[in-house]
Amino acid sequence: MPSNKPTFAELLADCTRSAIHLEMRDQYAVDEEVEAFTAWRNGFRHDPDDRASWWRPWLDLMQATTARGVVVRRARIVSEPVSEYIRYEHSGTFTNIAAGEQVRWLPRRHASDIALPGNDYWLFDDRVIRWNHFTGDGASAGQEISDDPAAAKLCMEAFETVWARAIPHDEYKIR
């Protein structure tokens, strides 16, 4: 049965100004990351000079989106000392930046007074939300699309507050 829910690529294609992503978990166990995380745990690191070895469809999508003038920002709220998974994410974030994303990190202790939504999300042009649901152990529990104006406003305001306090990727030192 066909779904009338837009794909992530369709949401980005319809986006004209901004796509923001807030991540609030200290560990994710989504299928496409498990193998890469295991390799990282075993010592594998991407070589920044060997772009062909780490460039992937996700980065093509981000580069095409930013090339159209859409500003893509990602903020991560993290506990410190950071989890092993966050160390893994941090070590590979240079790939996101190479594709045109802007990335910042906010230590969780600096987010205590921010009204945050209950789930990670993407917000497109301050109006369409893609909620990312996860199980307790970090596996994907699906996505949900919303265009509720009050929820979009909460997401936008929360993100902007996090962004203002967060540390740019190249300045954030893992603790």
Could you report the per-residue pLDDT of 138-152, keeping only the tens digit for each? 989 999 999 999 999
Spatial separation of the C-alpha atoms in residues 131 and 135, rounded to whole Å: 13
Output the six-digit token pair for 89.
């994410």
Check whether domain 8-43+50-171 has CATH 3.30.870.10, yes or no: yes
Tell me what pLDDT residue 41 has: 93
In the chain, what are the domain boundaries?
A: 8-43+50-171
Cis peptide before 81 (omega within 30 of 0): yes
- On average, the pLDDT of the chain sits at 94
**Binning pLDDT at 50, 70 and 90, where does residue 105 land?**
very high
Query: 83: exposed, middle or buried (C-beta count within 10 Å: 0-12, 13-18, 19+)?
Result: middle
Q: DSSP label at 78? A: E
The string of pLDDT tens digits covering residues 24-73 is 999 998 777 888 899 999 999 999 999 888 888 989 999 999 999 999 99
**Binning pLDDT at 50, 70 and 90, where does residue 1 land?**
very low
Tell me what pLDDT residue 77 has: 98
Query: What percent of the chain shows pLDDT beyond 90?
Result: 85
The model carries a pTM of: 0.94
